Structure 1
């Protein structure tokens, strides 16, 4: 199976895909540049057969961090730096990052971050996908775990990346990517979502998640993660209704797992707005990454006057370790 082959996609007329490219930071030009696809003509399946020694190796784990970083709070650079610092200190380190509500200022902060530049492939290289909107979603893949070269059989091969413009009151989309796990080049679809907000009726969230779930089933294996915004009572059953497995509910059925509103700053009760749901994968571990607060010394009097201190985001992040399910679902 070649990592550059066209991905199997749903044929929904109301959810067209728009393909984009991966980006890599080029230190010689000091810019993020589009990645060129691999030009090798040998598929990974052929290479696996050629080099097989009869030893069956286990596909690598996918370790994902997803975080709604809050597009509207002050000091986006400092808040983004706090989130990145927490991610860097995780053990094991994540190899996939999903961010939602990334403002232009937060995106520039990511573009300029030395650790991001050195260690990650980026779904974005400029502000093109923001259009006239205040924020969007982004995806990053670790260079330590992923490669764009099909001959690099020890790493996960990066496939195409695209956005799906599903029906949305806020012009939201799903950011999608296919990756191929060694040794058998198993396709796994990664989908980063920020489903529609608020308790508006009729809700677009059921249709949005149904489109995403169909896409995961077509791929055979995959994960959708991000801000699901389950505001209405019927939202709580959407993951199961689409035959997906909610990793938090699966591994921590007796714990609320709140990712929003836990600090009492919001006028609404706490909620588990952020989720990780899978098809054909199994969760080994999932943890909540609570935001810290900005230190007043970083911004002097401006931050000293904030009471209570400003958290990095109004959401907590999630870290989840995933592997292929033993039997395809």
Structure 2
């Protein structure tokens, strides 16, 4: 199946110029001698931040604070349903500007013609940039992973969905390219044929010549029984099942958790993490907190930050 690539630029905030500057292409040197060491685990958080409910910017700020603050901050952040206002809020957040590389910082191309899109944030402490003030190739506790190309894979989709892919290269294996793919697959029950095609395309991206595997994570919109089988059919490891088994899948639900819906639909495991060529260490579901929202009559109600829970996954290369 042929896929279209839209190449974009990963960007980092340069504090000396106060501008978002494009990250230069990664320089490869296959002959470079690198001291072999056990790589530190990486932690990724993925969250659909719910663009369609009221006060998306305020909710997104609370959600981002939950991811960034404390001792459980993540090296990789996948966000889905980011609208233009939320994008601007993320790019202007001092914590993001000082400590993260972000996709889609240079323009709004990915957000044109769609109500929302995906964004990926990478910790500048773990991923290499020529704009980093540290000595090239070094980071706290070990060498940084080098950044490669960034692109969006156009998917067969009713809603204009794509796969946002960032390539990374371990310092101990300069010829090994891994891909981190942030996804929001097509919604609703009748879109299963689209989702099946989308996962087939994305799985192929992880098996292309020169790629040694990686992660596909985000909102898979897995609403049917058939959806639950798509990862296995495409040779992808369902990380939750690999770590926790099938004993109590209720704990893996990420949508409709702790709320009563008018349509009667119960909680579902819509969000997932799939891997090829990586080793998962830990995975958990992150429950959203609440924000106070005003309602007519001068009163207010508490609403979750998002209608989705987040996923936090720790893995090694």
Same topology, TM > 0.5: yes
CA shift for structure 1 position 152? 1.1
- Report the CA distance between 1:213 and its aligned residue: 0.7
Stretch moving more, 238-247 or 142-151: 142-151
**In the alignment, which of 296, 302, 306 is matched to residue 313 of structure 1?**
306
Specify every segment of 5 or more residues in structure 1 that has no aligned partner in the other structure, as ranges. Answer: 1-11, 325-329
The whole-number CA distance in structure 1 between the counterparts of 2:147 and 2:58 is: 31
Residue 14 of structure 2: aligned partner: 26
TM (normalized to structure 1)?
A: 0.85
Cα pair 2:49 2:80 within 8 Å, conserved? yes
CA contact (8 A) 1:293 1:310 kept: yes
Change over 3 Å in CA distance of 1:303–1:119 after alignment to 2: farther
Map of 1:158 onto structure 2: 147
- Say which of 236, 254, 260 aligns to 2:228: 236
- Aligned mate of 1:182, from 165, 168, 171: 171
- Structure 1 range deviating more: 285-294 or 257-266: 257-266
Match of 1:220 among 212, 215, 233: 212
Name the SS for the 1:204 alignment partner: helix
Matched, 1:84 2:60: no
1:221 partner SS: strand
Q: CA deviation at 1:37?
A: 2.8
Q: How does 1:256-275 map to 2 (within 5 A)?
A: 256=249, 257-266=252-261, 267=263, 268-275=265-272
What is the match of residue 201 of structure 2? 211
Match of 2:279 among 282, 307, 313: 282
Could you tell me how far 1:187 is from its partner in structure 2?
Answer: 1.8
**Mapping 1:87-126, distance limit 5 Å:** 87-89=67-69, 91-125=71-105, 126=107
Equivalent-residue separation in structure 1 for 2:13 and 2:298 (angstroms): 36
Cα shift readout 1:269-296 (whole Å, capped 9, x = no counterpart): 1000000000011110001111000146
Instruction: Please tell me whether the aligned partners of residues 25 and 149 of structure 2 are also in contact (alpha carbons under 8 angstroms).
Output: no
Q: Deviations over 1:78-125 (max 9, x none)?
A: 111111111123544311010001011111110111101111001111
Whether the 8 Å CA contact 1:173–1:194 is kept in 2: the answer is yes
| Offset, 1:201 | 5.3
CA offset digits 1:196-230 (Å, max 9, x no partner): 10011562011100111111122122000000011
Number of residue pairs matched by the alignment: 300
Aligned-residue offset at 1:73:
1.1
Could you tell me which runs of 5 or more consecutive residues in structure 2 were left unpaired when the two chains were aligned: none
CA distance in 2, matches of 1:166, 1:123: 19
Q: Deviations over 1:221-265 (max 9, x none)?
A: 200000001112211100111111111111112222110001224
